[in-house]
Amino acid sequence: MKRLLFAVFFLLLVLPLVVLPVKADRVIANSQDWRDVYSSMIYANLNGDTSSFLVSQRHAALILNTIPTSEKLLAISSVDRPYIVGYKSFLESRGYTADEVRVDNANLELARRLTDTKKFIIIDDSYGYNAVSVGPYASMTKSYVLFADRNTIDDVVSFLNDRNPTSVIIYGIVDPEVRDGLAPFNPDIINFDGDRFKNNLEIVKRYQKIAPKKQVILTNGEFLEEELLGGTQPVLFLGAQNVPKEIADYLKNSDFEVAVLIGNQYVGSATAIRRSTGLSVFVKFAQSARSPQGAINPVEGLDIFYLPIVTLSLQIFSVEYNQATGMLEVTLRNNVEQATYFKGTYTLLYGDTSKTVGDENTQFIQGNAFITLNYPVNILEENTTVDAFVIFGESKFSLERTIEGVYNLTTVKVFDESDLDIIDVYYDAPNSRFVIEIKNIGPVDLYANAVISQIRINDIQTNLGMLGDPLLIPVGETRKLFIKADLTDQDIADNKDLTVQVRYGQRSTALVKLKKKTFALRVKKMDIVFYSLIGIMVILLILILLTRKKRCKHCHHKNPRKRKTCEKCGERL
């Protein structure tokens, strides 16, 4: 009897602490935070439920026009940022059987409710497109997607230790602390130098290997839509304005027969895919109106929840022909801090003749900077125009955006006599930056900007450049250029050598010359002279304090510091 009573008492004590899933027919995310919305959708898919989400306060009622009152609803509502406060009572007032879960961090709190889930995919929530990329694979393999960065990894590791997972995948770029924290779980890592298209291709290939499909969804990872994460077909990124070559090549050789494009803003890219691959492409861009008006019901846009995206803004600043060098000089400007990769093609049209030049390899421009590229053309005709086509993106292989335009070619005559020498490069660890020492060895003042190319950071090969305007270096003088970089010990170990590229010229917006130099990576952990001076000052201060005499309050006589009584009047010091 005592054992029975103890067992009952134990269950009453423990059961309230156990988080159990709430059963429903449909989950509705009531949050203005995309991470809550995404987590709710994945949670619903793993629970076998339908998912929806709110996109505005008005939408809270509008969405119900297509949901039968026979469905049991579960509202997952943000504590701090819901669209509707008290959504449960609102649903019940409309005749639904409803429940509500209020969450601070939907991602982990919903994971705890999926008590049978043992497979997890880890991503950094700084990259919303990665969440879209892994969504179908996660739903199909019954894996939950966890967000982790250097600030949250301890909570994630604690959760995984309690869950004892059978599979952990790290997808895309994550902080070093995340990789280190997850190492005990022997994670499978999917990351090709942070390139979202290559990573996306890999997860699609894995999906197809497990559950081959003839149909694929095309999108660009910039928003959530109900069909994207369902798991019934993989999601392939196609590029906002241009289709990366790797995507087009994969589709040509794949078993896909039909593609569904979600969002008509990518019709141009989808059209290019249809023409190059023969794939049948259907566009899903609207839905039937849920608020009927008149005899003919209009359509309305899809329910879309936008994700944070990387902002890129590249422009052609000038197109000039330099008569002094016979070169076409194309200057591009990066208007944002995000570094950008690009590749240009320029067709010169004069009379009945044309000549095409461009970049053989992908170029790099740092944030808020100019770059000038030179192409030999030897054009002397007047009224020449340049038809420009530039593709660009956030990584070397993600050239998904385009610049197209026709420019009247202007003529200049500039003999650029600038010259410089790259004297030294080292990593200034205390200030988390590279220092590049440049000497102006030419006969004129010059402007210079620097890039450290193909450096490996966080196990990703990338380029690092100066932000902002180039630095003026007067004739005969040496200046230091600084490039911010927060390197770990592992990063330092991964980079034995550094290749420095310095673009320079007499004009600040036309750095037409380029020098490269390779140095062994040298780390300066402290300024020896500075810290030596600090040490000397500290020692002098101590000596002053030790040799300072005690003044007697009675007779004002100065006594040796060690005396207990005044040697003149005998008063106690």
Confidence bin at 509 (pLDDT 50/70/90)? confident
**Mean of all residue pLDDT scores within the chain:** 89
Q: Are 118 and 164 in contact (CB under 8 A)?
A: yes
Q: Are 308 and 384 in contact (CB under 8 A)?
A: no
Confidence bin at 1 (pLDDT 50/70/90)? low
What does the DSSP 8-state code read for residue 230? S
Q: Residue 176 phi/psi, 5° resolution?
A: -55, -35
Q: Tell me the DSSP string of 399-443.
A: --EEEEEEEEPEEE-------EEEEEEEEEGGGTEEEEEEEE-SS
pLDDT digits (tens, 9 = 90+) for 443-479: 999 999 999 999 999 888 899 998 888 999 999 999 9
* pLDDT, position 109: 96
* pLDDT, position 82: 96
Handedness of CA 52, 56, 57, 58 (dihedral sign): negative
Specify the pairing of strand 420-428 against strand 523-524: parallel
pLDDT digits (tens, 9 = 90+) for 115-158: 999 999 999 999 999 999 999 999 999 999 999 999 999 999 99
* pLDDT, position 571: 77
CA distance 147 to 125: 6
How far is C-alpha 311 from the geometric centre of its chain's CA atoms?
A: 10
CA distance 383 to 208: 54
Q: 510 has which bridge partners?
A: 507
Q: Is the pLDDT of residue 8 over 50?
A: no
Q: Which of 453, 434, 428 is nearest to 503 (CA)?
A: 453
Q: Are 450 and 501 in contact (CB under 8 A)?
A: yes
Per-residue tokens: 46: 């793993």
Whole-angstrom CA distances from 303 to 60, 70, 135, 306, 487 are: 12, 22, 17, 10, 42
164: left (phi over 0), alpha (psi -120 to 50) or beta: left
Q: What is the mean pLDDT of residues 187-214?
A: 95
pTM for the model stands at 0.82
What does the DSSP 8-state code read for residue 565? B
Per-residue tokens: 567: 């040697």
Q: Are 403 and 413 in contact (CB under 8 A)?
A: no
CA distance 403 to 234: 30
